[in-house]
A and B are shown apart, each in its own frame.
Chain A
C-alpha cells in the first residue's frame, strides 16, 4: 500500500495578487519576499479569562502559544504581523505572568513587530513593545486586517477561526485551516485555546461564494483540499 507524503516543496503554496505566500503547518502564513510572518487570533490569556469566572482551565495556554510562535518564527523572519484578537480580553496584558511577559517583550524587541488591531480591540500597553496599526495595514500590494471585508481584495485576515475535517475510513479528523481563493485568505487562529468555526457555516461561506481551497492543519501536517462551487 503506497503512502504518499502530503508534504512537498509546494505544500501550502498560494499566490494572492501575484504574491507568493505559504500556509504553514504551525498555522502561520509565511511571506518570503517580505521576510514576514503573519499570525492571527493569538487569544493570549484566554485561560485566566475563564479562571476569573471560576472555570479553572489549565493556565499554560499563553506559554504554549508563545512557544509555538517562537518555533514558527525561527531565524528567517524580519517582520511579524499579528492580525488582531492577540489577547482574549481587555485585561489580558495585565494578567500575563512575569515569565510570559518577558518572553513577549524579547520577541517584540528583536523583530519588526506589528499589532494590527480591529475596531473593537483594546489598546495594547506600550510596555509590550511593537507598534500598533489600527484598522488595516497596506503592504506591498496586500491589505492585512483583523476581519475580512465584503469587498476585500488581496486581503489577509483572521477573526473567523476557520476549521474543517476529513474523513478517513470512517474516522473524522478535524483541525483548524487556512481558507483562500483568488481574492483573499483567512488564517486559522494561532492561540492554543482558540476554538473554531466550521468552513460550512454561513459567515465563512459568504466570504467564499465560488471555488476555494483550504489547507488543513492535522498533527503537524498540512493537507490541501479544493472545493468547486460548480460541482454542487
Chain B
C-alpha cells in the first residue's frame, strides 16, 4: 500500500515511512473503527502488532486535535506491562513532537503524583484495574475522566471471568457514565468465545465490534517421544531432562513452561546438573523476589539467555522476539492456554512457532496428543466468563459511595450494565448493599454500626472519611496466600507459602530459587535458611496440582482417543501396550458414559471412577462417594483424585454402583459436606477480604496476615451457625461451585453418565488404574475423612515424642 494512501495525518506519515512500517490489515481496521467512533475487540495472535493497533487511533486523534485532559486510558493486568508500554511509546511521541503527555499510575506511583494525576491528568495514562478502581472512588473522578475518548484494555482474555475482571467491568460501567463518548478497545489473544468477550468489554452499554486478525501459520508442535523410561505417575518428567538439555543446545533461545513452582525448581536444577557447556539458563516464577524476576526478564529481552524455566508468571507480558522454541513440561491442561504459551515463540506473524511437549506420565501422553490434534484443527477451549462475584460488588459499592452519594435504583442500573452483573437479581443487589451499609445481619440492634447512611432523598453516603480511607487501603481482588520471606544471610530470595514453611523441620532441605537450602527456623514473617553444600536429594516444595484442571475439551478428546484403537498406532510403544492390556483385562472408558472398576488389593477394596473431569471435580466426587459408602457400610478409608481418575479404597467392597453415583448426591450430602469443607473456609477467607469484612491492613497498624487466616475461620463458623444465608456465605458457595469444588462440572458428568455406567468387577488391579494407585498415600485426604485421620494420627502421636 502506498504510504499516502494510509489514513495517517501528515504529522505522522513520514515517521512511519522512515521505519519502513507496513500496516497489518487489522491495524487499518482499528483506525477505521475509531474514526467511526466504534468500540472494538481485537483478537490476534502474539506478534500481531496488537498494542500499536490499540494506540494508533489515539495517536492520530491527538495529532489532529490536541486534548487538554485525559484522552486515552490504558489498563493492563500487569504493572510491568503498563510500564513497558509507557516506555515504548514515550520515544516515538517525543520524536514526533506530539502534544501528548504519557504517564503510568500503579501501586508504586508516589501519592503526590497520584493526586496531581487526578486533578491535571496526562493525555495518556497507563494503569491497572486496581488503580482505576482507586481513581474512580475519588469525588473528582467526574473531572478526571470528563474528556476521556478511549479506554484500552490489554490482555482482555486474562481479565474477563476473573474477580479482577469483575472489578474492571464495574469500573468500565462507571466510566461509561462519566465519559459516555469514550470508545472501549480490547486487545486479546485468540479465544474460543469472542462474542462473550466483546459483551464483557461493552460493560456500560457499549456495542462492541469484533475484529479478528489473521491467525498466521500453524505452529509446529511435537511431542518428545518417550521410551520405556516413561513413568507411570508423577509430574516431574525427570526422564526427559537429557533430551530437554540437548534441545536447548540446538536452539537460540527457549522458554521451558511448567505448571507449578515445584516443577520449575526441579527442572531448573536438573538442567544445571547437565549444563556442561555452562549455557545461561534462568528461572522465573511468582515466588521469586520481584527484582530477581525483572533481572531475568531484562536478560531475556537482551537475548542473553539460552533458556528460562517459567511458570504462568511468563504467560503474559512483554514480547521477546528471539525465542525459537517453547517447551511445555507436563500436561498442557487446556488448548487455549497451550496456544498462548506457544505464541510466545517467534513473534513474527509470517513464521510458524515451534513447540515441544514433554509428557510426564502415561496419561499425559494422551493429553499431549489430544492437544496437538486440537491445535492442528485450530480449536480452542476455556470457560466463558462466569457471573460476577458478590464480594467484588460489595467492594465496588463502597467505592462508589466514597466517590459520591448514590441512590440504590441508579446504582443498580449502572451495575447491571456491566456484563458480569447483567443477570444480577435486585434482591442480591439489595442484600449486598445492606452488607456494605451495616453488615446485613439479622440482628436489629446491630444496625447502629454502619459504614453508609442514607439521607431523606434515599441517597447513600459514607459515614466518615475513615470509611473511605479504609476502603482505599483494602482495594483489589487479589488475595494472596500467607507468604513468608525466604532469607539466606542478608539476602531475601523470595517467598514461600506459610503452610509449606510450617511443614519444615530444622535441618530439612528444599529447593528454592534454583538452590538447595537448609531450613533453620521461622522468625516472624521470615524463613531463615542456609545454603546446603551436600548433594543429597532435597525435600521438594509440595505439588500444587489443582491450579489448572484438565479442560472439558481436552478431556473429551482424550476419551475419544481411548475409544478408537486405530488412533493408538501413533502412540509411543509403552502407552500402546498399556492400553492394549486394559482392553484385554477390562474395558476402555466410554466417550459419553462412565467406566467404574472395582477390585481387591491387599486388605482393601478399590473403586476407580474414570471421570476425566479434572481434579477439583473428582475431589468433590470422592468426598461425596465416601460419605455414601460409609452409610452403605462399605467402610471407606480414603481416596485420591487426579485430573483423570478417582480411586477410593475401603474395607468392604462398594455395592449398587448406579445408585451410589446417582445425581441426588448433589443435594443434601453436598450441602452437609460443603459446610464443613476446608475448601469453603479457604474461599470464605478470600470473599471476606474482597468484600471488606476482614481488612488486609488497618490505617496505622498493620496486622500480620497470619492473624487474618485464623480469624476468618472463626468468623466463618459463627456466621454459618447463626446466619447461613448471609450474602457472604452465598458468595462463598458460588465461588467454590466453579472453583475449588467444581460442582458444575461434576453435575454435568453425573447427568451424562446416568444410565450409562459400565461397572467392571475385577479380581485384581486393572492396567488403567495403575497410575492412580501409585498416587495413593502421596497426598492429603480432605474434608470429613479428617476426623478419621485425627484418630489415625493420634495412634502414631501417642507413642511419639516430638522434639521442638
Q: Which residues of A contact B (CB under 8 A)?
A: 1-6, 48, 51-61, 63-64, 97-98, 163, 165-174, 192-196, 200, 218-219, 221, 223-229, 231-232
Contacts and interface: CB of A to CB of B under 8 A. Distances in A.
A108 B753 CA distance: 60
B781 A3 contact: no
B717 A192 contact: yes
B734 interface: no
B569 interface: no
A57 B693 contact: yes
Interface of B: 435, 438-439, 441, 443, 445-446, 449-451, 463-464, 466-467, 470, 499, 502-503, 542, 637, 651, 693-695, 707, 710-711, 714-715, 717-719, 721-723, 726, 777, 779-782, 786-795, 797-798, 801-804
B438 A168 contact: no
B719 A60 contact: yes
B795 A166 contact: no
Among B502, B777, B781, B804, residue most surrounded by chain A Cβ atoms (within 10 Å): B804
A-B residue pairs, 9 tightest by C-beta? A56-B439, A51-B449, A6-B794, A4-B795, A60-B722, A231-B803, A171-B780, A3-B791, A58-B719
14 contacts: A3-B788, A4-B791, A51-B439, A55-B694, A60-B443, A60-B722, A170-B779, A171-B780, A171-B782, A193-B718, A219-B787, A223-B790, A226-B801, A228-B803
Contacts of B721: 60, 64
Contacts, number: 150
A229 to B, nearest CB: 8
Contacts of A57: 439, 693-694, 715
B679 to A, nearest CB: 12
Contacts of B801: 226, 228, 231
Contacts of A224: 798
B689 to A, nearest CB: 12
A3 B638 CA distance: 12
B710 A195 contact: yes
Nearest to A55: B695
Given A59-B441, A63-B722, A232-B804, A221 B795 contact: no
A2 B603 CA distance: 12
B718 A61 contact: yes
Given A58-B719, A60-B722, A193-B711, A167 B798 contact: no
Contacts of B777: 169
A200 B804 contact: yes
A204 to B, nearest CB: 11
B693 A60 contact: no
A195 B782 CA distance: 24
A168 B792 contact: yes
Contacts of A166: 793, 797
B714 A5 contact: no
Contacts of B450: 56
Nearest to B467: A54
A195 B637 CA distance: 33
B795 A193 contact: no
Contact of B503 (A1, A52, A54, A172): A172
A19 B33 CA distance: 86
B790 A192 contact: no
A58 B439 contact: yes
A163 B798 CA distance: 19
Given A59-B441, A227-B803, A231-B803, 8 more contacts: A3-B788, A3-B795, A4-B794, A54-B449, A58-B718, A169-B781, A223-B793, A227-B802
B788 to A, nearest CB: 5
A55 B22 CA distance: 57
Given A4-B791, A54-B466, A166-B793, A97 B718 contact: no
A192 B718 contact: yes
A184 B446 CA distance: 40
B723 A1 contact: no
A200 B441 CA distance: 37
A54 B791 contact: no
Contacts of B718: 58, 60-61, 64, 192-193
Contacts of A53: 466
A213 to B, nearest CB: 11
B722 A58 contact: yes
Contacts of B789: 168-169, 171
A203 B651 CA distance: 47
Contacts of A219: 786-787, 790
B438 A56 contact: yes
A225 B464 CA distance: 49
A165 B802 CA distance: 12
Contact of A56 (B449, B464, B791): B449
Contacts of A223: 790, 793-794, 797
B439 A3 contact: no
Contacts of B503: 167, 170, 172
Given A54-B470, A165-B502, A200-B804, A6 B439 contact: no
Given A2-B795, A193-B718, A170 B542 contact: yes
B803 A171 contact: no
Contact of A6 (B449, B780, B791): B791
B517 to A, nearest CB: 20
A173 B439 contact: no
A56 B451 CA distance: 8
B446 A48 contact: yes
Given A48-B446, A170-B503, A195 B794 contact: no
B139 to A, nearest CB: 19
A173 B789 CA distance: 11
B684 to A, nearest CB: 12
Contacts of A195: 707, 710-711, 714
Contacts of A168: 780, 786, 789-790, 792-793
A192 B467 contact: no
Nearest to A59: B446
A174 B710 CA distance: 9
Contacts of B694: 55, 57
Contact of A54 (B451, B637, B798): B451
B449 A52 contact: yes
Contacts of B439: 51, 56-59
A196 B710 contact: yes
Contact of A1 (B443, B719, B792): B792
A173 B726 CA distance: 26
A2 to B, nearest CB: 7
Given A48-B446, A48-B449, A165-B502, A60 B790 contact: no
A61 B503 CA distance: 31
Contacts of B446: 48, 51, 59, 97
A24 to B, nearest CB: 17
Contacts of A98: 445
A193 B716 CA distance: 10
A141 to B, nearest CB: 30
Nearest to A199: B804
Contacts of B693: 55-57
B707 A172 contact: no
B803 to A, nearest CB: 4
Contact of B779 (A59, A169, A196, A231): A169
Contact of A64 (B637, B707, B722, B795): B722
Contacts of A52: 449
A227 B439 CA distance: 43
A97 B442 CA distance: 13
Given A55-B693, A61-B718, A166-B797, A172 B802 contact: no
Contacts of B803: 227-228, 231-232
Among A4, A174, A192, A226, residue most surrounded by chain B Cβ atoms (within 10 Å): A4
A226 to B, nearest CB: 6
A224 B443 CA distance: 39
Nearest to B793: A168
A224 B802 CA distance: 11
A116 B499 CA distance: 37
A166 B503 CA distance: 10
A61 B441 CA distance: 12
Contacts of B723: 58, 60
